[in-house]
Amino acid sequence: MAPEAILPRLEAARMRISVVRRMYVFVALAAVLLVAAGAVLADPPSVPKNIIIMISDGCGYNQIGATDYYEFGKLGEQVYEKFPVQYAMSTFSEGVMSPACSPTAPGKYDPASAWSNFGYVDWRTTDSASAATAMSTGHKIYDTVIGLDIRYQPLTHLMQVAEARGKATGVITSVAWSHATPAGFVAHNVSRDNYAEIASAMIRDSATDVIMG
């Protein structure tokens, strides 16, 4: 056979071998990806990598319901209303404190009074300091107080628990970072109005890694 006839056949054979090799590489890569994906699906992490608590100040079920009706005309349409795990918590305080740090209006929130008298709701509105502390520590305290129980003893914040386990923590807010809600997860003070004391404690005394506001 003439050389000029052999060369095209050799070139065609080389191309077929190249295509087969590429197919083998593709199949092998696909197999590796499938095995890796199966391993990920079969072995999900036992604990979450990050925990982010997002607080919409003053928001409750009525506000969520109003948003549903405004946007969709019916209830239960927000993304977070479809989360697989949902819990509710109460954030009402133990009462109101006078400037002399004595209870002037002790007593817990009364739903019956709230439904029968709208003036009661205005008078017994939960303070951000006591609400944030309730979320952060699980304890009811007096209004305006941050991180202290009804005997003015320091409570353990959720972030302190995380820090004791070697986790990085932080608070980020759209208001001044020494305000009641962010401070309610870090500081301990008899009054939310002691902004300088709270700011100093958050920076100097806490182990919080990130503070932004």
pLDDT digits (tens, 9 = 90+) for 117-152: 877 777 767 889 999 999 999 999 999 999 999 999
Tokens of 17: 């071998």
Q: Are residues 102 and 133 in the same domain?
A: yes
Q: Are residues 34 and 112 in the same domain?
A: no
Q: What letter represents residue 178's amino acid?
A: S
Per residue in 50-88, pLDDT (tens digit) is 889 999 888 888 899 999 999 999 999 999 999 999 988
Q: Are residues 78 and 108 in the same domain?
A: no
Q: Are residues 146 and 194 in the same domain?
A: yes
Residue 105 pLDDT greater than 70, yes or no: no
Residue 42 pLDDT greater than 80, yes or no: no
Predicted confidence at residue 44, as pLDDT, reads: 65
Determine the Cα–Cα distance for residues 154 and 149; give it in Å rounded to an integer: 7
6 domain residue, yes or no:
no
Residue 92 pLDDT greater than 70, yes or no: yes
In the chain, what is the straight-line distance between the N-terminal and C-terminal CA atoms, in Å?
84
Give the residue numbers spanning the domain of 146.
Answer: 92-212
121 domain residue, yes or no:
yes
Q: Are residues 79 and 124 in the same domain?
A: no
In total, how many domains does the chain have? Answer: 3
Query: Which of 186, 184, 189 has the alpha carbon at shortest distance from 152?
Result: 189
Helix (H, G, I), strand (E, B) or coil at 109: coil
80 domain residue, yes or no:
yes
Helix (H, G, I), strand (E, B) or coil at 87: coil
**CA geometry: angle at 146 spanning 200 and 122, to 5°?**
130
120 domain residue, yes or no:
yes
Q: Are residues 73 and 144 in the same domain?
A: no
Q: Are residues 151 and 200 in the same domain?
A: yes
Give percent of the chain with pLDDT exceeding 70.
72
What confidence tier does 193 reach under pLDDT thresholds 50, 70, 90?
very high
Higher-pLDDT residue of 210, 111: 210
Q: Are residues 80 and 108 in the same domain?
A: no
Q: Are residues 149 and 82 in the same domain?
A: no
The 10 Å Cβ neighbour count of residue 57 is 13
Tokens of 188: 């301990």
Residue 197 pLDDT greater than 90, yes or no: yes
146 domain residue, yes or no:
yes
Q: Are residues 110 and 77 in the same domain?
A: no
51 domain residue, yes or no:
no
Of 7-21, 46-60, 161-175, where does mean pLDDT reach its minimum? 7-21
Query: Which of 116, 154, 114 has the alpha carbon at shortest distance from 137?
Result: 154
Q: Are residues 102 and 82 in the same domain?
A: no
Determine the Cα–Cα distance for residues 91 and 107; give it in Å rounded to an integer: 13
- How many Å is the Cα radius of gyration of the chain? 30
Q: Are residues 162 and 110 in the same domain?
A: yes
What confidence tier does 183 reach under pLDDT thresholds 50, 70, 90?
very high
Residue 175 has, within 13 A of its CA and on its CB side, a CA count of: 11
Determine the Cα–Cα distance for residues 141 and 124; give it in Å rounded to an integer: 14
Predicted confidence at residue 107, as pLDDT, reads: 57
Predicted confidence at residue 32, as pLDDT, reads: 41
